[in-house]
Amino acid sequence: MHIVRHLFLENPLGLWVVLGLAEILALVVWDQTRSKRAAWCLVAFPVAGILLGVLDLAVETDAEQLNRTLAVMGRAANTGDAEAFVERISDDYGDGKSNKERLAEAVRRGLRHVRARAGVPRIRWEENEAVVQQTCWLRSAPGSRLVLPSEHQQVEWEGVFAPDADGEWRLRWATALRPKRIALEQAVRYLPSQP
């Protein structure tokens, strides 16, 4: 089922290529034989391609939703838009030691001092959630007095995402893997108190 969903909904380019090649073949056959079957294929293959495109646009898969969430969070971290980032944190965020409010405050404080450029995420799909690992490159925010040591300019983080009741994929838990395993709420203690 995953392969079918991937081919038809997440990445139909391969099927469009196959349909395009089949259309060329049908055109060659029709040109040589003028058969009704080849004429029908000349119509059927483009119609199938159009239907595939409509289906691709009409259905947003879990992978597409998660990638949209990661893109919003990445843009927010790069531009310092803390509220856009916080919107993508689940109300159910936490591991018993932290919650959404604590993380939201840490994000707001952190983005006053730091900007992050996110790399390509590595996604591992599990039952009803996705585990994301990603590298981010950090730099001081404009106007911040923070000087990032070189060992903290590249951070590898891991987060768990799952759909909330509204169907949107949001962050449920996160931690930094490198330079050392640390939660964001702990990392902000190292920030200056003023921008």
Question: Per-residue pLDDT tens for 108-154?
Answer: 988 998 999 999 999 999 988 999 999 999 998 998 888 877 877 88
In a domain, 195, yes or no: no
Residue range of the domain that includes 170? 62-190
Domains held by the chain: number: 2
Task: State the CATH number of the domain containing residue 93.
Answer: 3.10.450.50
Spatial CB neighbours of 114, under 8 Å, sequence gap ≥ 6: 138, 139, 140, 141, 144, 146, 148, 191
Q: Do both 24 and 84 map to the same domain?
A: no
Residues 66, 54 share a domain: no
| Domain identity same for 78 and 131 | yes
Q: Are residues 74 and 129 in the same domain?
A: yes
Please tell me the distance from the alpha carbon of residue 108 to that of residue 101, in angstroms, as a whole number: 11
pLDDT grade for 186, boundaries at 50, 70 and 90: low
Instruction: Please name the residues in contact with 120: beta carbons below 8 A apart, sequence gap of 6 or more.
Output: 134
Whether pTM > 0.85 for this model: the answer is: no
The answer to whether residues 107 and 68 belong to one domain is yes
Based on the fold, state whether residues 72 and 165 are members of the same structural domain.
Answer: yes
- CA pair distance 154, 164, nearest whole angstrom: 30
DSSP labels, 52-98: HHHHHHH---HHHHHHHHHHHHHHHHHHT-HHHHHHTB-TT--SSS-
